[in-house]
Structure 1
Amino acid sequence: MSVRTHTWTTKSGEQRQAYLVQYSTAELDKRGKRKRHVKFFDRKKEADAFHAQVRVDVSKGVHVPASKSIAVEAAGRNWIDSCGDLERTTVDGYQQHLNLHINPYLGGVKLSALTVAIVRDWQDKLRKGVPAPGQTQAEPRTADMVKRVTTSLGSLIGDAVERGHVGTNVVRNLRANRKRGKERKAERRAKGRLKIGVDIPTPVEVDAILGAATGRWRPLLLVAVRCGLRASELRGLPWSEVDLKKGEIHVRQRADAYNRIGPPKSESGERTVPIPPATIKALKEWKLNCPRNASRELHYVFPNGEGNIENHANIVTRGLAPTLIAAKVTAPDDSEAPKYSGLHALRHFFASWCINRKVDGGLELPLKVVSERLGHSNIAITADLYGHLFPRSDDSKELAAAEGKFG
């Protein structure tokens, strides 16, 4: 196994030079000898990098020669086929990543030819909005989108590794995927924490929203604010899981973007959430007027006019947005635009309400209980999102009171 310089003269008499990597694999040729492979590079740096990688791959027995490798586009089809057990919305998102961001740039590249340099160049083109071959224009992708499609590319290559179409996953060698603790902390600081009045409605704003809510939207917004259910959980909530006598909601299912019922987002998403008294009263009144389906059955708690699952877009555009505008909870620069764009802002408020001190109108619940009520898959998610909202133990008033005992 070696890297050599190869020179030759073209028919026109021009001198050319390339770098040649020659190596053997455990695979046997027709003569029963180890099969030899040759690969040419224009730059010595690229040849050296390939040589170093192929030595490791051959020693581990995972190297796949270019002749047996497939293109990224074909690997993408295999990857999508393997996602059959995932939600339709998730698979559609992966397919969109392939169609819009991966295949136009890398679809024709063989997996064995992918290098860290090629992937980094692809990321740079996405960020800058450089058009793919055959395209005339393209919009710059956000940093978050680049991160997500890179993750999809890594999953695609990971699937190809398992199928034996390529030896290593180059995406896992990217420095961005090997960040140290300090770098991750710096990234989180740059992203910023959720802020009251910016990402999370204030108590005054919530009072105004609930005061302005009317008709079928009032019980829905009350449950969103006081029980913290996700939008998908609200849309898929059946009356059979609402115990108005005990004052409990049992979250055991959700409705996806295609109005199909499935399990909660995670195992911890299946939970029991208490219902405050005023919300119980609103639900009792709503149950008497709730639309029924074609068979006259009362099924979903917050259905559309025909008693079936309501679309998420309708809840936001017909329910939440007009209510926020009526409550004058609008954008600072536009009195006709709602200040908060989705129901998740109300879920954020529920989390802050659970966390806040009782003297400030909150429930002052422990972190673990808050995590359970939100249905987070682990307590770390709750801590990362809302940890800064918990009361500080070094509050100046508490310090002064404690100091007085020993002064």
Structure 2
Amino acid sequence: MATVKKRAWTTAAGEKRDAFRVSYTDSSGKRQHKQFTLKRDADAYRIKVEGELAQGIHTPDAKSATVAEAADVWIASCEASGCDRGTLKTYREIANRHIKPQIGNEKLSRLSAPRVVEFRDAMMVTRSHAMAGKAVRHLSMILAEAMRRGLVAQNVARAVKVKRPRGEHQKLAKRAEIPPAEHLKAMIEAADQLGDEDPRLPVLLRVVMLGGLRASEARGFAWPSADLKIPSLSVTQRADRWNEIGRPKSNAGHRCVPIGPRLATTLKAWQLRCPPSKLNLMFPNARGGVIDQKGFIGLLVKVQVAAGLALDTGRKDRKGRTIWAPRYDWHHLRHVAASNWLNDGIDLKRLQVWIGHENIQLTIDVYGHLIIDAKKDAALAAGAEAALLA
């Protein structure tokens, strides 16, 4: 049991002081003390300590880890569980640049919801709302891991949120933009014309446009994952920004995507011509390895320059040549597959699976505006009118 006792003393300067001390024995049998100016604070702490001791989750201030130490524990745990290298890089950056400098020295045992609110408010003054939100969410993840390890009794950051300014929801909504049909045809024709120079291009564009693969998935796609009899493409791995092959970023990334017979025929022909690679990649680089991100974007720029779609950046390289930027990135071409599937009448749940989204709400947010059936809408409106005016 914890006790509260008032103690009084005289300072060296002759001033009389008093305070309320909470005393208790921790789970290791060591006597602990904590002092408060107000009795109500001491009583509140006594009740808190007794409850935590009963649950076996109390950590004395002297033994408590800091937020910075808990962040390191959390990142180490993520790394041990096989977390993606890119994700780990993001976690470290947010912890080291935003959380540790602001609140890293705080003891977990002393951390409170009001203190987290102060941290949130300070972040919103010096960072964007988006980054402030990420910092608070990651702090909550750190405390959740600390709770699992018995380093803290509760996650005081769980209920703290960063509200987006009015209208920011619309700004953040990444609705799919589908290139016009004439632009898609121009890119395919340009890729076909460039096929003698780089035979990967005609196949690559068709795989992304018809299979809905992400750029990282196309860069890391291996031939054993292509079943050209069914036919289908099974996404089982991807290439990260360091050109290392690993599993998809989420469980939803693992998926089997059906493809049409014409693409299957194209892939059969390409498989016979494809340069050998140790990783048995469908689209290897000149050395048989993974195409890096810059090179992969370069392929798309080359196609769009040939198609007359690339954007002039207004800059020149060292040889005085125009530096071009793509009008459409690989994600635009991935959206083409989703658009085609919707036009063919696919349901949203199947689209979610084929496109590799973690939840159907994301699928709705990205592709919901493409679900348009003018004839059906007109029929529904006519039926409602007839029922009302009959």
For normalisation by structure 1, the TM-score amounts to 0.74
Match of residue 255 from structure 2? 271
- Note the C-alpha offset of 1:188: 8.3
- For residue 109 of structure 2, give the secondary structure of its aligned residue in structure 1: helix
Please tell me whether the aligned partners of residues 4 and 20 of structure 2 are also in contact (alpha carbons under 8 angstroms). Answer: yes
- Note the C-alpha offset of 1:157: 1.8
Match of residue 370 from structure 2? 389
The alignment status of 1:158 with 2:136, answered yes or no, reads no
Query: What does 1:29-178 correspond to in 2, within 5 Å?
Result: 35=31, 37-40=33-36, 57=52, 60-83=55-78, 84-85=80-81, 86-129=83-126, 140=127, 142-176=128-162
Residues 353-374 of structure 1: CA deviation (Å, up to 9, x unaligned): 211xxxxxx3221122212211
- Cα 1:58–1:247, aligned 2, differ >3 Å: closer, same or farther? same
- Note the C-alpha offset of 1:24: 4.7
- Sequence identity of aligned pairs in percent? 34
- Cα 1:23–1:3, aligned 2, differ >3 Å: closer, same or farther? closer
Query: What does 1:227-376 correspond to in 2, within 5 Å?
Result: 227-293=211-277, 299-316=280-297, 318-329=298-309, 336-340=324-328, 342-355=329-342, 362-376=343-357
Match of residue 180 from structure 1? none
- Cα 1:277–1:77, aligned 2, differ >3 Å: closer, same or farther? same
- Note the C-alpha offset of 1:261: 2.8
- For residue 74 of structure 2, give the secondary structure of its aligned residue in structure 1: helix
Q: What is the distance in 2 between the residues matched to 1:265 and 1:375?
A: 10
- Cα 1:162–1:195, aligned 2, differ >3 Å: closer, same or farther? closer
Match of residue 26 from structure 2? 27
- Cα 1:153–1:367, aligned 2, differ >3 Å: closer, same or farther? same
Equivalent residue for 2:186, pick from 203, 208, 220: 208
Structure 2 residues not aligned, in runs of 5+:
315-322
- Note the C-alpha offset of 1:67: 0.9
- Cα 1:333–1:6, aligned 2, differ >3 Å: closer, same or farther? farther
- Cα 1:345–1:50, aligned 2, differ >3 Å: closer, same or farther? farther
- For residue 26 of structure 2, give the secondary structure of its aligned residue in structure 1: strand
Please tell me whether the aligned partners of residues 7 and 20 of structure 2 are also in contact (alpha carbons under 8 angstroms). Answer: no
- Note the C-alpha offset of 1:6: 9.6
Q: What is the distance in 2 between the residues matched to 1:309 and 1:333?
A: 27
- Cα 1:194–1:266, aligned 2, differ >3 Å: closer, same or farther? closer
- Cα 1:110–1:36, aligned 2, differ >3 Å: closer, same or farther? closer
- For residue 37 of structure 1, give the secondary structure of its aligned residue in structure 2: strand
- Which amino acid in 2 is paired with 1:68? K
- Cα 1:314–1:40, aligned 2, differ >3 Å: closer, same or farther? farther
- Cα 1:309–1:192, aligned 2, differ >3 Å: closer, same or farther? closer
Q: What is the distance in 2 between the residues matched to 1:189 and 1:39?
A: 47
Residues 188-224 of structure 1: CA deviation (Å, up to 9, x unaligned): 844454445xx44343433333333333233212211
Equivalences, count = 371
- Note the C-alpha offset of 1:330: 5.5
RMSD over aligned Cα atoms: 4.1
- Cα 1:128–1:11, aligned 2, differ >3 Å: closer, same or farther? same
- Which amino acid in 1 is paired with 2:26? E
Structure 1 residues not aligned, in runs of 5+:
130-139, 177-182, 356-361
- Note the C-alpha offset of 1:229: 1.2
- For residue 113 of structure 1, give the secondary structure of its aligned residue in structure 2: coil
- Which amino acid in 2 is paired with 1:157? L
- Cα 1:336–1:46, aligned 2, differ >3 Å: closer, same or farther? farther
Q: What is the distance in 1 between the residues matched to 2:244 and 2:132?
A: 29
For normalisation by structure 2, the TM-score amounts to 0.76
- Note the C-alpha offset of 1:332: 11
- For residue 376 of structure 1, give the secondary structure of its aligned residue in structure 2: coil
